């Protein structure tokens, strides 16, 4: 009976994702009618400008939103289970600041196009490497790892501000626009690379979900039950880092998805990571698609970066979480 309920739960999430996708397809700086949308969906070869808007702008953007939202939310669920900390997520671990530094360096060096996502990916990975290496060598407590991520964030952010002070106004503008988080740069190459890394990464997290469940009991208990804690942590950390790096490289800094969604999903489906990770991925995709739709229509014909919308929602959620969490957990 329980499995049947979970089956219906995931079917409902998939339906909601399809509905949010279709709503995002209809709404924008110029809204489409349902009749128009169906016509151009099944007549992609049309030379009409509306067909270009649907197939070259909105559909790639929505697909990227699904990939980034699902990836960040799944990583948030994995990190919170891994560190047994409700505040753990890709950005509180310093990943965003590493990506910011990578982008800042690429802009200063005069690189553009595909080089900006590449440098963002490298920067985020360096940040993750620092956090994981220092935490594993010093055997930090799970709560202390979050503090370590914050310290590294401050360090990298200070370097970014130094670059700001030395950069030209146009270079600063380019960096800031990327840092605000945006899905409008979606293209076929970005989607393909992001899809490969995100899908493989999420399947890896799901594959090790039972081991992650055991790890939440503590390292000693996990070892006694036949799970190698260090090996499992390393695999989960690397998989989550690849997912986060690819998402940040594709869309810029879109914060709080990894902290909001796992908590919502945990309330709905429970703490079993076998269900929590795919549930978080689906809800994260729905959340980011709807957030991007709001960002496109709230001040038409202008568009807000989606990171602004997720930041406002996430900031309120984050504060409420801090107020409700026992101070002894930090």
103 domain-assigned: yes
Contact 95, 124 (CB under 8 A): yes
251 domain-assigned: yes
6 domain-assigned: no
203 domain-assigned: yes
CATH number of the domain where residue 85 is located = 1.10.3470.10
Tell whether the torsion through CA atoms of 254, 246, 240 and 164 is positive or negative.
negative
pLDDT tens for the chain, residues 1 to 330: 455 588 889 999 999 999 999 999 998 878 888 888 887 777 766 667 878 888 888 999 999 999 999 999 999 999 998 888 887 888 788 887 888 888 888 878 877 666 777 887 888 888 888 887 777 766 655 667 778 888 888 888 888 888 888 877 777 777 777 778 888 878 888 899 899 999 999 999 999 999 999 988 887 888 888 888 888 888 988 888 888 888 888 888 888 898 889 999 998 998 999 999 999 999 999 999 999 999 999 888 888 889 889 988 888 877 876 777 654 444
45 domain-assigned: no
Q: How far is CA 247 from the centre of its chain?
A: 6
Q: How far apart are CA 300 and CA 318, in angstroms?
A: 28
83 domain-assigned: yes
The whole-model pTM stands at 0.89
Task: Give the residue numbers spanning the domain of 100.
Answer: 67-322
194 domain-assigned: yes
Structural domain tally of the chain? 1
247 domain-assigned: yes
H or E, element range at 115: helix 115-138
């Amino acid at each position: 009976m329980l499995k049947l309920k979970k089956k219906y739960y995931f079917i409902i999430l998939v339906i909601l994702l399809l509905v949010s996708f279709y709503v995002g397809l209809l709404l924008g700086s110029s809204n489409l009618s349902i009749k128009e949308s169906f016509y151009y969906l099944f007549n992609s070869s049309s030379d009409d400008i509306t067909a270009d808007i649907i197939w070259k702008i909105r559909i790639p953007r929505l697909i990227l939103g699904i990939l980034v939202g699902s990836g960040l939310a799944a990583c948030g669920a994995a990190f919170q289970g891994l560190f047994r900390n409700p505040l753990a997520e890709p950005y509180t671990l310093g990943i965003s600041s590493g990506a910011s530094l990578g982008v800042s360096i690429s802009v200063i060096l005069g690189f553009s196009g595909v080089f900006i996502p590449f440098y963002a990916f490298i920067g985020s990975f360096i940040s993750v490497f620092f956090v994981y290496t220092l935490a594993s060598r010093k055997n930090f407590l799970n709560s202390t790892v979050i503090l370590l991520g914050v310290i590294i964030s401050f360090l990298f952010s200070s370097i970014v501000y130094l670059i700001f002070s030395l950069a030209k106004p146009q270079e600063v503008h380019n960096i800031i626009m990327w840092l605000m988080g945006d899905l409008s740069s979606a293209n076929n190459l970005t989607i393909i690379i992001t899809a490969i890394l995100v899908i493989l990464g999420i399947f890896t997290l799901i594959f090790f979900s039972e081991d992650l469940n055991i790890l939440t009991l503590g390292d000693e208990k996990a070892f006694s039950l036949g799970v190698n804690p260090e090996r499992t942590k390393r695999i989960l950390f690397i998989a989550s880092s690849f997912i986060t790096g690819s998402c940040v490289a594709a869309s810029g800094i879109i914060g709080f998805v990894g902290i909001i969604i796992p908590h919502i999903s945990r309330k709905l489906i429970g703490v079993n990571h076998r269900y929590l990770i795919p549930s978080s991925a689906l809800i994260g995709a729905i959340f980011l698609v709807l957030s991007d739709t709001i960002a496109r229509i709230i001040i038409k014909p202008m568009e807000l970066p989606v990171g602004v919308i997720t930041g406002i929602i996430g900031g309120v959620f984050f504060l409420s979480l801090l107020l409700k969490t026992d101070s002894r957990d930090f």
